[in-house]
């Protein structure tokens, strides 16, 4: 069995730029009402999804800076350690649902820019270090690029259909 080829930093940024542009075009196509009023079955608006993406960007920055993701995302350490992402996301939702649309849009843009700058500053090899190189108590040998992809362009791609379904109800 052969290993899949490593994604290069350039390939990663091509994907990231494409999905960021797609997310921005999606947002630009919605009215303020579509962004803030209709909800899904869990009570989330499109705005809530945007905050969710911003907070996970903060978590990614914390990981890459070798800081506590739980602390950076304002999630109780025990909840974070449970790896129960539904619970983690519920904490994020509860902490941000009352915040404004303008704040959500600014937070998403700001955190994206900070993540982008951090990733640009990393070497090709740093993209492929094991997660344990970034989390002192981790034993994970999985390359950090998987976490990076999952919390950037794949995360945007994952949420667009959900947000689109919400906006269609408005």
The answer to the question of residue 161 being in a domain is yes
Write the pLDDT tens digit of every residue in 98-118.
999 999 999 999 999 999 999
The answer to the question of residue 3 being in a domain is no
- Please tell me the predicted confidence (pLDDT) of residue 136: 81
User: For the purposes of burial, counting CB atoms within 10 Å of the CB of 91, is it exposed (0-12), middle (13-18) or buried (19 or more)?
Assistant: middle
pLDDT > 70: percent of the chain? 97
Write the pLDDT tens digit of every residue in 66-84.
999 999 999 999 999 999 9
Task: At 97, give phi and psi (nearest 5°).
Answer: -60, -25
| CATH number of the domain that residue 154 is part of | 1.20.120.450
pTM for the model stands at: 0.94
- Please tell me the predicted confidence (pLDDT) of residue 89: 97
The answer to the question of residue 50 being in a domain is yes
- Please tell me the predicted confidence (pLDDT) of residue 18: 98
The answer to the question of residue 21 being in a domain is yes
- Please tell me the predicted confidence (pLDDT) of residue 70: 96
The answer to the question of residue 79 being in a domain is yes
Q: State CA 168 to chain mean position distance.
A: 23
Mean pLDDT of 23-42: 96
Task: At 129, give phi and psi (nearest 5°).
Answer: -65, 155
The answer to the question of residue 121 being in a domain is yes
- Its domain, for residue 74, covers 9-168
Mean pLDDT of 22-33: 98
Number of domains in the chain: 1
Instruction: Using the Cα atoms of residue 61, residue 156, residue 88 and residue 78 in order, give the sign of their dihedral.
Output: negative
Check residue 74 and give left, alpha or beta (phi > 0: left; psi -120 to 50: alpha).
left
The answer to the question of residue 2 being in a domain is no
The answer to the question of residue 154 being in a domain is yes
């Amino acid at each position: 069995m052969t290993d899949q080829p490593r994604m290069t930093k350039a390939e990663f940024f091509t994907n990231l730029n494409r999905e960021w542009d797609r997310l921005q075009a999606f947002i630009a196509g919605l009215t303020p009402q579509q962004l803030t009023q209709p909800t899904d079955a869990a009570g989330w608006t499109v705005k809530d999804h945007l905050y969710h993406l911003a907070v996970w960007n903060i978590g990614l920055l914390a990981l890459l800076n070798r800081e506590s993701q739980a602390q950076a995302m304002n999630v109780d350490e025990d909840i974070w350690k449970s790896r129960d992402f539904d619970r983690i996301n519920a904490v994020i939702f509860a902490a941000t649902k009352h915040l404004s649309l303008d704040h959500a849009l600014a937070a998403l843009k700001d955190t994206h820019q900070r993540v982008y700058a951090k990733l640009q500053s990393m070497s090709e090899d740093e993209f492929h270090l094991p997660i344990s190189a970034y989390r002192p108590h981790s034993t994970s040998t999985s390359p950090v690029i998987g976490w990076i992809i999952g919390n950037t362009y794949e995360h945007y791609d994952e949420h667009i259909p959900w947000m689109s379904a919400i906006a269609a109800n408005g």
